[in-house]
Amino acid sequence: MHLSSLTTALALVLAASPAIAQPGHGAHDAHSAQAASRGIERLMAPEGARVFIISPRDGATVGQEVTVKFGAEGIAIRPAGDMSPDSGHHHLLIDVGELPPLDAPIPDDAHHKHYGKGQTEATIHLEPGTHTLQLDLGDARHMQFDPPIVSGTITIHVQ
Ligand SMILES: [Cu+2]
């Protein structure tokens, strides 16, 4: 291939790539656009907001009744439905590998627990074995923030 035709081919590839044609429009914005198309806009995560699991500790061995303490910084914990700015409520993801879809409210099932009264701890029952726990803050409408405000995932061993 001549150098000139190689250059032409490269130019075509660049022109065809939306990521390059529109700088700044990454996957992040694609999720927001998807949410908007369903009529549910995600709220921007306040700068520095974070959530974390205070206890149990990562790697801990615990009994089947597990009290999980939720930590939050840089964002207020309020009941679901409370539209106060820069606030949300905790969700505990149990044995969930991937975050739920960003363009819909967080599911409400055995693996996605809502603490819509504004709780900052909860006692859950787990079967013996190895489990993972992760916090995922949701807004008044149970939508994840943009970007999501999630804790690290911890692994615990239930006896
Ligand atoms: Cu919720």
> Residue 40's pLDDT is what?
79
Q: Output the pLDDT for position 30.
A: 44
Q: How far is the CA of 111 from the centre of ligand 1 (A)?
A: 13
| Per-residue pLDDT tens over the stretch 115-147 | 999 999 999 999 999 999 999 999 999 999 999
**116 CA to centre of ligand 1 in angstroms:** 5
State the average pLDDT over residues 46-75: 98
68: part of which helix (H) or strand (E)?
A: strand 65-73
Going by pLDDT thresholds of 50, 70 and 90, the confidence category of residue 109 is very high
Q: List CB-based neighbours of ion ligand 1 within 5 Å.
A: 114, 138, 142
What domains are defined for the chain? 3-37 (no CATH), 50-158 (2.60.40.10)
Q: What is the pLDDT of residue 16?
A: 39
In this predicted structure, the answer to whether residue 11 has a pLDDT above a threshold of 90 is no
What's the 140 CA to ligand 1 centre distance in angstroms? 7
Is pLDDT above 50 for 3?
Answer: no
Going by C-alpha positions, the residue among 81, 75, 99 that lies closest to residue 142 is: 81
Q: Work out the mean pLDDT of the chain and round it to a whole number.
A: 84
Distance between Cα 8 and ligand 1 center (Å): 52
In sequence order, which residues have a C-beta less than 8 Å from that of residue 43 and are 6 or more positions away?
Answer: 139, 143, 145, 146
CA 2 to ligand 1 centroid distance, Å: 59
